[in-house]
Amino acid sequence: MGIEVQHIYKSFNNYNALQDVSLKVNDGELIALLGPSGSGKTTLLRIIAGLEVPDLCEESKILFHGKDVAKQRVAERQVGFVFQHYALFKHMSVFENIAFGLKVRPRATRPSKAEIQHRVNELLRLIQLDGFGNRLPSQLSGGQRQRVALARALAIAPKVLLLDEPFGALDAKVRQGLRAWLRRLHEELHMTTILVTHDQEEALEVADKIVVMNQAKIEQVGAPEEVFHRPANEFVMDFLGHVNVFHGRVENGRARLTDIGSKLTWNREAFGNAVYVRPHELEIDRVAGDDGIRGTVRRINLAGTCAKVVVASSSGNEVVAEISFERFHELGLQRGETVFVSAKRARVFTPDYEI
């Protein structure tokens, strides 16, 4: 089921959580709302679920499959909601937790005991917790609890799955495993899913589409590779991974980096006063080319999939470059050596007000 929200505003006291937010989610898509804390992503999710009411505004709309559900309550919207801290019913067993949504149905639509039993067992198998039905939530690990919470949400056969930082409270290792599992599950169920996260890696890995949010607004919507390689602005660039910022001016297609008295090629007409380069887009050389910044190797980190080299310019600014191990060994870099850093690729963003 496709979801569309239009012109949503929400403020708490004097704090703006959402300001004129519009978003479209296609049927069967898994999208991630990504942003720092306080960017409004959880509020947007809760408004879609019906757990929060948007500010009154004539243009505001919440459409499920083209139908306005703004007046419907949570239960009527048939959403499966998974909370960050699981929110499992502590005094109920895993089985009772999952069965809850079926048991509270009015008698007319309530499945029989045997049907409930069957459905819960099916879900226990889906979350790979067969035989855990009699345990209490307190007897499970964090990852297991979150899987139970997911099964409980799926039990009511929701039309949409809404996940509020579902792996936020788990260790890195467990999170990794659950991410891959969630992706596989999505491929199996093809249910429209919205995932809220502040972890860019999680969003890039799991989602079909990423919605980057900041300060109550959507900054960019796009496929993972799109937001990563073609960020719409400085914020998106900075939020999706490490980035080196060179301050200076762009003149005749060349960036004059005032702070280090050096230059960096930029072969396009552009405005602005900062140049953004990702670590893997930097190159290190022992000899000075046409361009490049002169600096000293300050730190080398080889623990990872590539060599991370921190180079300090004469003014003390640090630049992080990621080069392949082959290149690293070819150069035979040592701490304290003088090198030249140049960019294969760089970005300049045009501030909105100059358009």
At closest approach, how far in Å is the CB of 222 from another protein? 29
At closest approach, how far in Å is the CB of 3 from another protein? 16
Distance CA 284, CA 338 (A): 10
**CB count, 10 Å around CB of 76?**
10
Contact 210, 199 (CB under 8 A): no
* DSSP bridge pairs for 81: 162
List, in order, residues 6 or more apart from 344 with CB less than 8 Å away: 281, 282, 283
At closest approach, how far in Å is the CB of 83 from another protein? 6
Q: Which is nearer to another protein, 90 or 329 (CB)?
A: 90
At closest approach, how far in Å is the CB of 330 from another protein? 49
At closest approach, how far in Å is the CB of 298 from another protein? 40
Q: Which is nearer to another protein, 81 or 239 (CB)?
A: 81
Question: How far is residue 258 from each of residues 66, 75, 153, 246, measured CA to CA in Å?
Answer: 53, 59, 55, 9
- Residues lying near another protein in the complex (CB under 8 A) are found at 49, 51, 74-75, 79-81, 83, 85-91, 100-101, 104-105, 137-138, 142, 145, 149, 152-153, 155-156
Q: Which is nearer to another protein, 106 or 304 (CB)?
A: 106
Q: Which is nearer to another protein, 110 or 344 (CB)?
A: 110
Q: Which is nearer to another protein, 10 or 145 (CB)?
A: 145
Pairs from 305-311 (Cβ < 8 Å, separation ≥ 24)? 306/280, 308/279, 309/284, 309/333, 311/284, 311/339, 311/341
Please work out, in degrees rounded to the nearest 5, the angle formed at the alpha carbon of residue 58 by the alpha carbons of 53 and 61: 55
Q: Which is nearer to another protein, 51 or 182 (CB)?
A: 51
At closest approach, how far in Å is the CB of 87 from another protein? 4
- HSE, side-chain direction, 13 A CA sphere, residue 80: 26
